[in-house]
Structure 1
Amino acid sequence: MAEWREYEITNHVANCSGYTLTKHPDGGGWNVSAADSELSAREVCQVLREVTFERRTMTKVSQASWDQIHTGHFVVSVEGWRISIYNDCDTLDYCEECVSPEGRRWLFGAGDRFGTDPIALLSTWEHQTLERLLKEL
């Protein structure tokens, strides 16, 4: 009981608090984070924006190329950020999900209003540049 009390003091979980359990993208384990530590669409958009300005490097995680998928999810890694982007008939459509290196997560919801998707927050030039970069992977 003394060991549990020491653990509980060090790793306190507040009563009725919300937490998110996520599996690390590399399959290395699980992460528990406070619900209020979820990613925002703007944070994800900024990562994608930095890719378009060549400040970050994007690599393909999916086995198939952008053209081979044609319609479906295309997964990329941006320096530890795992991002699932929807390819709709060879057109960059929307961001489905993003997991940060720390395990924080953003997930597209069916009830999200227009503009809450990170792709929708990009400028026209950034959108076109990101689409071109995805096709080159």
Structure 2
Amino acid sequence: MNPAISMKEAADILRKAISGELPLVSVAGKGKWQEGYCGNFEFTIGDWTFIFFNDCDELDYVDKVTAPDGRIAEFDDWCTDELIGCPFNDLTDAEMAKLEDMVYVS
């Protein structure tokens, strides 16, 4: 089964946030990254919604993505018997480091 949003498509939106082309904003009322040790945290990137999982203060994986047109993909949609999938897999180490910095200060 193909997810409604591919890992590559989600990674491309993450890259737009990393480059500054789209703003990454913590969703109000869901708590700041620094205030939660573990759990899901919601962010918008332009008109997209991303839910990142914070695992012991580390940006671990994308739990859910919602596109502006209503398409949704969740972590399990990207996983197969051969691959634990996540849009983070498509990012370079430098891109991940920049995204982590952005999430931590949101």
TM-score (norm 1): 0.69
Cα distance change of structure 1 residues 53 and 94 upon mapping to structure 2, 3 Å threshold: same
Stretches of structure 1 lacking an aligned partner (at least 5 in a row): 1-34
Q: Provide the residue aligned with 2:21 in structure 1.
A: 55
1:120 to 89, 93, 96: 89
User: In the TM superposition, what is the alpha-carbon distance from 1:100 to its structure 2 partner?
Assistant: 0.4
Distance 2:77 2:68 in 1: 25
More contact order relative to length (CA 8 Å, sep ≥ 6) = 2
Aligned ranges for residues 89-104 of structure 1 at < 5 Å? 89-104=56-71
Q: Deviations over 1:104-132 (max 9, x none)?
A: 11111188113x21012110001010010
**Alignment root-mean-square deviation, CA:** 2.0
> Which 5+ residue runs of structure 2 have no aligned equivalent?
none
Distance change >3 Å, CA 69–CA 38, structure 1 → 2:
same
One-letter amino acid of the counterpart of residue 67, structure 2: S
Alignment equivalent of 1:105, drawn from 69, 72, 80: 72
Question: What SS does structure 1 have at the residue aligned with 2:97?
Answer: helix
TM-score of the pair, normalised by structure 2: 0.88
Query: Residue 94 of structure 1 contacts residue 120 of structure 1 at CA under 8 Å; is this kept in 2?
Result: no
Q: 1:94 to 1:36 in 2, by over 3 A?
A: closer
Aligned residues between the structures: 102
Cα–Cα, structure 1 residues 111 and 44, in superposed 2: closer, same or farther, change >3 Å?
Answer: closer
Q: 83-92 vs 60-69, which deviates more? A: 60-69
